[in-house]
Amino acid sequence: MSEIETRLDNGVLEVQFNRPEKKNAITEQMYKDLAQAFVSARVNDDIRVVLISGHKSCFTAGNDLKDFLENPPEDDDSPVFRFLQTVADFPKPIVAAVNGPAIGIGTTLLLHCDLVFSGEGAKFQLPFVNLGLVPEFASSYLLPLRVGHAKASEWLLTGKMFDAHEAKSAGLINEVYKDEQFFSAALHHAQKLAQLPNESVMISKRLMKQTYMSHTLQIMDEEGALFRRRLASDDFKKAVDAFLSR
């Protein structure tokens, strides 16, 4: 049983975080598996849409901090960075189904999805600054573009937790469903997308993204270098010590 489950059905590749005992915290191995799933999906003509989800009460707690400290990303070729890159310029629609905690990369990932559906229990947080780190996954660029500078500052600078209604009102997500319905609703939307004329879908996604793509990839590099530098800071060490002694 892998900690990244995949299942192809009717043109929709379901990719699921599956490490419930650790709130779906993402390890280096899971990033490898995720990157592999997206790299394969890119060239597999049977796959028209990717649906990414966690569990009913947890999307993902973000990076697994313990694993992260043991296997820090060393450069642009780390598994986490390869995952970011393959998702950022993925040519087919990505649909997300989110409930429960969506922390750190659990939220920044959504900026690269095309449709995002959540349950009422979804909780989003971008605690990079609180940990002595800086934004990643081009969120410093894409979040202000998506929700405006004031809301982006509120989420990225203060690291506050926010709920599904705030996320929808700001334009981060498309729709909030009852907890029992968010996954089936997202699956339904993914299946409908998979039935539409595929070339029109892919051209349209490319047109919508192209203005921002080269800058997105460039910012990801810049954020990545700053992120790795901040991993060596006293601020990060203190935050980790506080976290591990909880």
Sites of contact with a copy of itself (CB under 8 A):
93, 111, 113-116, 128-135, 140-154, 156-159, 170-174, 189, 192-193, 196-197, 199-201, 203-205, 207-209, 211, 215, 219, 222-223, 226, 230, 233, 235, 239
Instruction: Tell me the closest approach of the beta carbon of residue 140 to a copy of itself, in angstroms.
Output: 4
Of residues 161 and 226, the one with the C-beta less far from a copy of itself: 226
* Residues comprising the chain, all counted: 246
Least distance from a copy of itself to the Cβ atom of residue 107, Å:
13
Written as one string, the DSSP assignment of 68-117 is: HHHS---STTSHHHHHHHHHHT-SS-EEEEE-SEEETHHHHGGGG-SEEE
Which structure tokens are listed for 30? Answer: 């899971």
| Nearest residue (CB) to a copy of itself, 157 versus 244 | 157
> For residues 15 and 94, which CB has a smaller minimum distance to a copy of itself in the complex?
94
Query: Shortest Cβ distance from residue 151 to a copy of itself (Å)?
Result: 6
Determine contact, residues 135/230, Cβ cutoff 8 Å. no
Least CB distance to a copy of itself at residue 114 (A) = 4
Cα separation, 225 vs 127, in Å, equals 18
Q: What angle separates helix 79-88 from helix 198-230, to the nearest 10 degrees?
A: 150
